[in-house]
Chain A
Amino acid sequence: MNQPAIEFRRVTKSYFRGNQEVPILRDFNLSIPAGRFLAVMGPSGSGKTTILNLVAGLDRPTSGTIHAAGVTVSQQRESELARWRARHIGFVFQFYNLIPVLTAAENVELPLLLSTLAKRERTTHVQAALGLVGLSDRLHHYPRQLSGGQEQRVGIARAIVSDPTILLADEPTGNLDRSAAEAVMALLTRLHLELKKTILMVTHDPRAADYAQEILHFDKGTVS
């Protein structure tokens, strides 16, 4: 079990704008041991979101291999990836991406719909997850009835409700004021310390990055 939770080996990723190849990652290597809380920092457009998408198998590398949570992500088939993602990956987005027509509890329940859990068990999990993020009293509120910080905490509850091993957070504080950002970062730290989650967070906010065990500075496709 000394295998890293996430590993990039000589990964190259380019996009094509018309005929022009735009390299985002060049010969990128990264190894994150299980249980580590790593922040990747870099300016906007440097490829931070791309890294997360590659880990989750939402995007494919141009070359190289990516391992995460025991599988070689870059070689899995689409349908298997979807199932694997539901089990092992929790996503925290900058804009929360809550579904406005669903309540907090229903939003958190979404990932569990992909599991075999019965309704009663799902409810238990949802309540536990929302309890963990301190929103037990907001179960039946709709996103628009919540503050930004509360919305992001619902987003975090949704990310952890199916108990994934890896949390991927994309600028989780990017839309929050200082105190809400601090609450969210304290929460992520707790998830790392108490639940031993492997957390890969990308951000350009140095204050947020300071909560991580380790900070990686990243620019122009390479680590500096």
Chain B
Amino acid sequence: MMKLLWSYSVRNVWVRSSTNVLTVAGLALVSLVLLAVLMLGNGLNRALIESGSTDNILLLRKGATTEIASGIYRDQAHIIKTLAGIAQTSAGEPLAIPELVVLISLKKAGAESPANVVVRGTHPNTFAMRPQATLTQGHLWQRGTTEIVIGAQIAKRFLPGGFGAHLRIGKREWQVVGVFDAQGTAFDSEIWGDVDQLMAAYGRDSYSSLTVHLAHPTAFQQLDEAIGTDTRLLLQVKRERDYYREKSITMATFIRLLGLTFTGIFAFGAILGGTMTMYGAVASRTREIGMLRALGFSSAAILASFLCESLLIGALSGLLAIGGGTALQFVTLSTMNFSTFSELAFRLTLTPVSILITLAFALGISLLGGIPPALRAARLPVTSALRAPGQ
């Protein structure tokens, strides 16, 4: 029984394919807009939130909300390195790395106007602390030289020929000696080099921030207390992940709001489109419906079969949108990172949750659009349905 009713629905959708193609295309497009918004959010989240590790804590000057605006003195950094609860490298060095973050203006390949790029003066041990980042080409900078390594997005978007290129940063010339990949996080849009050289290039005598890798997850409390009670420090302690999450909230909210507003408007159109299509189907099959009722089929069965057709259209649209989303994964976008005013590149990211949401959305829209026509079909008086003009 189910099988015949199922092929009845499938073939009806198929037979009216010229009309349904438009409906499916419309709904697929709307679903794709939603999916793209979700993928945008995922990509941004990935770029920002995933930049921070839960095992790292970020120290900033009290009152500073960004690394750029923060400052940490050399003697403060020395005190921090002596605290307990900090992980150590195999060589016995504490994984507490003071960093200087500056912005430079860099011309984008193939674009007229330059964009801001984050340059992070740091220590080679930073790779031990940030497992997302791995060197993929060249070598690390030699300490005490003006060698730099660049993130994958910088390599792609700013310095396509970049290996061995020379850059002016601050008062010095720097040479690109390596490229690192940071798995789509914000670090991909950064340039890393020796912190002392960068401070000298800018004539600075203080760091921007200090990142500590915890010896074990519970060391956070201990360090937070030790830093909080030391009157020489006056620093704020944050989990690195929380820092990046806060940065992402405003941007993600903005993009979601914009995207969902669009999706909402389009969804309304898609519902109407689906409704019109199915009203058309009911109208052209009125006598058929009367016949089925005359055979003894209940109005519930009629309702179910029309809803099934709507859902079929929805499922098709959803699958198409997901196919489109798969292709969109290869798109990289860039946006202004509002916390650093630097350019942040991120990839549209497809996740199982966004796939499910898109499918549910397409099915939901088609169901909403399909309910009024299905109800009409179910409520048709049998005798007048049988008298309806032929198909």
**Contact mask for chain A residues 93-113; partner B; CB cutoff 8 A; 1 contact, 0 none:** 101010111100010011101
CA distance A106 to B7 in the complex (A): 10
Closest to B390 in A: A95
The stretch of B39-47, B198-206, B286-294, B313-321 in contact with A is B286-294
> Smallest distance from the beta carbon of B289 to chain A beta carbons, Å?
10
A59 within 8 A of B: yes
Closest to B285 in A: A99
Output the residue of A83, A85, A113 with the most chain B CB within 10 A: A113
For chain B, the bracket of interface size reads 20 to 34
CA distance A113 to B3 in the complex (A): 10
- Tell me how many residues of A have a C-beta within 8 Å of chain B: 26
CB–CB B295/A111 < 8 A: yes
A8 within 8 A of B: no
- Interface of B, secondary structure class, is helix
Output the residue of B5, B292, B294 with the most chain A CB within 10 A: B294
Chain A residues in 8 Å Cβ range of B15 = 100-101
**Contact mask for chain B residues 5-16; partner A; CB cutoff 8 A; 1 contact, 0 none:** 101100110110
**Contact mask for chain B residues 371-391; partner A; CB cutoff 8 A; 1 contact, 0 none:** 000000000001100110011
Closest to B10 in A: A101
A58 within 8 A of B: yes
Give the residue of B287, B291, B296 whose beta carbon is less than 8 angstroms from that of A114: B296
Decide yes or no: A58 and B4 within 8 Å by CB, A79-B298, A91-B295, A101-B12 being known contacts: no
> Smallest distance from the beta carbon of A95 to chain B beta carbons, Å?
5
B297 within 8 A of A: yes
A86 within 8 A of B: yes
CB–CB B294/A91 < 8 A: yes
CA distance A49 to B387 in the complex (A): 9
Chain A residues in 8 Å Cβ range of B391 = 100
CA distance A102 to B6 in the complex (A): 11
> Smallest distance from the beta carbon of B15 to chain A beta carbons, Å?
5
